[in-house]
Amino acid sequence: MAPKKTSTPRREESLSRDRIIEAAIELLDSSGEGGLTFRSLSERLATGPGALYWHVANKDDLLNAACDAIVARTLAGCTVGETPGDSIRHLALAMFDAIDLHPWVGSALAAALGQLPMVRILERIGQQVRALGVPEAAQWATVSVLLNYILGVGSQNAANGQFARTRGVDRDEFLAATSARWLALDPDDFAFTRSFAARLATHDDRADYLAGIDVILDGIASAHGR
């Protein structure tokens, strides 16, 4: 009797949760959240959609895991500053760049309230706020302000960039046109807006973002006598 042939392991047996998450990140980067489906993911991984469910429960679970992978890598790569304020600046810029590179992360974080990706950022900011000597009674409010600024402004910047890319908008042309519209506004009703209009076309989004972090840090120092 001829010996039984050893069956070749099926493709999905080589799957792992990490491999699925990496493929999901690639899809999200190229096609956005709308392009992430179990069908498109299974095609990329050359397996059946059913095999994916051994590792991820559903699309929300997968999106959260992909977001957490990006956040964990970003925080791991953050430079520790000489002061807690420097560390917060490094964290803020790292998250700004990560969300700019992966625009879907902003909305994924907004949907991940109380979950690990958000908690990682919360914890890192909280440690530095404590190191700044902020009294315990004021720590939660202080961390919340920093967290909301970092994620809110970072996500808005990424959304602006995504809008420009999908609509074929040239940044310089858009800012020049906006500047011209602002300069045409009534000088009495819009004095501040007109005063900034001439600088609008040359401003640096990243530098403005970091300047906002400095305003918050200066406020913390002023409020708590440091």
Q: What is the pLDDT of residues 153-172, one digit of tens each?
A: 999 998 888 778 878 888 88
- Amino acid in position 91: L
Residue 63 near residue 29 (C-beta atoms within 8 A): no
Mean of pLDDT values over 70-83: 93
Is-contact 68 120, C-beta < 8 A? Answer: yes
Per-residue model confidence as pLDDT tens digits over 89-144 = 999 999 999 999 999 999 999 888 889 999 999 999 999 999 999 999 999 999 99
CA distance 199 to 49: 52
Write down the mean pLDDT value for the chain. 89
CB 48 within 8 A of CB 122: no
Evaluate whether 25 touches 66 at the Cβ level (below 8 Å). Answer: yes
Q: Per the structure block, which two tokens stand in for 180? A: 């011209």
Q: Among 127, 36, 20, which residue's Cα sits nearest to residue 69?
A: 20
Pick the closest to residue 93 from 211, 219, 224, 218 (CA basis).
211
DSSP code per residue over the chain: -PPPPPPPPPGGGG--HHHHHHHHHHHHHHH-GGG--HHHHHHHHTS-HHHHTTT-SSHHHHHHHHHHHHHHHHHHTPPPPSSHHHHHHHHHHHHHHHHHHSTHHHHHHHT-TTSHHHHHHHHHHHHHHHHTT--HHHHHHHHHHHHHHHHHHHHHHHHHHHHHHHHT--HHHHHHHHHHHHHTS-TTTTHHHHHHHHHHTT--HHHHHHHHHHHHHHHHHHHTT-
Residues 31-48 have a mean pLDDT of: 90
Task: Locate 53 and state its tokens.
Answer: 């469910």
Q: Which domains does the chain have, with CATH numbers?
A: 11-56 (1.10.10.60), 67-223 (1.10.357.10)
Q: Give the pTM.
A: 0.86
